[in-house]
Chain A
Amino acid sequence: MLKIENMTGGYGEVDILKGIDLTLEAGEILTVAGTNGAGKSTLAKAVVGLLPRVGGRVLLSGEDITKVPAERRARTGIGYVPQTANVFSSLTIVENLEVVEGVKDRKARMAEMFDLFPALAGRRRSRAGSLSGGERQQLAFARALMTKPPVIVLDEPTAALSPIMADESFSRIKALAGTGTAVLLIEQRARQALEISHRGAIMDGGKVALEGEARTLLADERAAELYLGVGH
């Protein structure tokens, strides 16, 4: 579904990503974990087309999309939930969903989103800026899912959430993958993320330091000690 080949790049002249190779299949959750500054969010931006300078290749369903601008990637198959500023604060909930382009049956899709996120349904005309952290997160998911993307990139979706809300968020991500969506999940709560994932990759210094089955990584003592936080 999604293939990343020898990806390099960064914001200026210095490479933050130093040769990343990853694949992601339909219905699969791939957690990307690692220490702060490892390049996880940069990788997410590179995949969705927001990184100014990228080398290597990004393939979506076999098609090379490395040079495709972010707005076209969004319309044709990659949803993205950024870590921060992930809703249009000054627009209402409905407007946040209405502005998304590339939606086939908008009315039906919006109804599906309100069924999926009932907390949003009752506040359709509220400004997104007035929502709680959890509600914002739901709206960010709904916005990213409007186009029914085959691939969704989630950049630390539980970062600002309470443990209970984070659990809900992980359940939602698992359910989403169950519908066939490929999920690239960037997470600091690596253990919890790996528990719902099929595979995991641990980044260090702009490279993939460890990669494998999520279960294997969770059992790997070196990974646990260096990257996952022992006992967490």
Chain B
Amino acid sequence: MTGFAELLFSGLMSGLIIGLAGLAVTLVFGIARFSNAATGDTMTLGAYGALVGSAFTGSVILGSLIGLAAGALASVVSYLLVFRPLQGRSPISSLLASIGLAFFIRAIIGLVFGHDQNVFQLDIVRPIKFAGIRIQPNDLKFAAVAISTLAVVFIILHLTPIGRRMRAVADNPLLAKVSGISPRPVMLALWSIAGAVSAIAGIILGMKTVVSPESGWEMLLPAFAAAVLGGIGHPIGAIVGGLLIGVAQELATPFVGFTYKIAVSFIVLLLVLLIRPKGLFGRSEGVR
């Protein structure tokens, strides 16, 4: 029973990371209307940014903020140089461009940092026991950061003028235009938020495991599965989807092994597409 509870807790932790990445995917899909395959590599970029920042400043917190800024900046630059020129064309063009961008980011990271695994220098803390479950104190910090990130995103979306305009564009782009909403600030806000959220997901993932040029790419399938499971374009759905996939992956680990747990994401993705393509929250598009 304790083993099950520990797997469940571990699944929720993984789920938060997947959920954050899924949130970035779903935000971009809801507003820019394509699946951004560079989300995973933006995560990786954020993690490397945090590693470099930590090394320079001697502070993991300051380093993480640098990583976050790097993710947001890379995302905005990607929009300005790659996705904005493709606006108005088929979503397939943007999807293919995002795959190319993902390879490009990964290649640059590999070239600059090499392909060795890197780790964050975090203090080693003894696990605490709660109801018989061993919990790493760092996991609680990561969970707090992930939940705070989600809260900030939801505050932006629902309580700020730019957030409301983002939701309006997601709801009905043409009506947004004839309501005087300029696409440029909305898109810049979108890509900044998506990049920052991806970077935070990548930094937490890197701190929990290791950082390598492939680490974010490997999270892309679970992130897409979370977005699809929750209902693509639905931010809360992406988080719930991420948590469910994280838990499913961890609970499946004793049966399928660590290496194959990612197959759970693929199975979930396939089942949702076959049985309920609109996902759990029942809407097919738009950031609600």
Binding site for B on A (CB under 8 A): 48-50, 69-75, 80, 82, 85-91, 95, 98-102, 143-144, 147
Q: In this assembly, does B177 line the interface, its C-beta being within 8 Å of a C-beta of chain A? A: yes
With A88-B168, A90-B167, A99-B168 in contact, do A70 and B175 touch (Cβ < 8 Å)? no
Q: Which residues of A contact B178 (CB under 8 A)?
A: 48-50, 70-71, 73-74, 80, 82, 144
Chain B residue with Cβ nearest A78: B178
- List the interface of chain B (C-beta within 8 A of A): 161, 164-165, 167-168, 170-172, 174-183, 286, 288
* Nearest Cβ on chain B to A129's Cβ, whole angstroms: 9
Which of B170, B183, B288 sits near A71, CB closer than 8 Å? B183
Supposing A71-B183, A98-B161 touch, asked if A50 and B171 sit within 8 A by C-beta, the answer is no
Q: Judging by beta carbons under 8 Å apart, are A70 and B177 in contact?
A: yes
- CB neighbours (8 Å) of B167 from chain A are 88, 90-91, 95
Contacts of A73 in B (CB 8 A): 178
How far is it, in angstroms, between the C-alpha of A101 and the C-alpha of B185 when the chains are bound?
A: 12
Select which of A50, A72, A95, A143 is within 8 A of B174 by beta carbon.
A50
Q: Which of B161, B165, B170, B179 has the most CB of A within 10 A?
A: B179
With contact pairs A98-B161, A99-B165 given, residues A90 and B288 touching in the complex (Cβ less than 8 Å): yes
How distant is the Cα of A73 from the Cα of B176 in the complex, in angstroms?
12
Given A95-B164, A99-B164: A74 touches B175 (CB 8 Å cut-off): no
B172:A99 contact, CB within 8 angstroms: no
CA distance A201 to B182 in the complex (A): 33
The answer to whether A101 touches B181, judged by C-beta atoms less than 8 angstroms apart, is yes
**Cβ contact within 8 Å between A88 and B182:** no
Give complex CA distance A75, B179 in Å. Answer: 7
Residue in B174, B179, B286 whose beta carbon sits within 8 Å of that of A90 in the complex: B286
Q: Contacts A90-B288, A95-B164 known; A101 to B179 CB distance under 8 Å?
A: yes
A88-B288 contact, Cβ under 8 Å, with A71-B181, A75-B180: no
Cα distance A147–B178 when bound, in Å?
11
Considering the complex, give the chain B residue whose CB is closest to the CB of A69: B177
Q: Which residue of B lies closest to A99 (CB)?
A: B168
Distance (whole angstroms) from the CB of B231 to the closest CB of chain A: 12
B251 to chain A minimum Cβ distance, whole angstroms, is 34
Residue of A nearest to B178 (CB): A80
What chain A residues lie within 8 Å of B170 (beta carbons)?
90
The listed residue (A69, A72, A82) touching B175 by CB distance below 8 A is A82
Which residues on the B side are within 8 Å of A88 (C-beta)?
167-168, 171-172, 175-176
Q: Chain B residues near A49 (CB, 8 Å)?
A: 177-178
Q: Is the pair B182, A101 in contact by a Cβ cutoff of 8 Å?
A: yes
Apart from A80-B178, A101-B181, list 12 A-B contacts with CB within 8 A. A49-B178, A71-B178, A71-B180, A71-B181, A72-B180, A74-B178, A82-B174, A85-B172, A87-B175, A88-B171, A144-B178, A147-B180
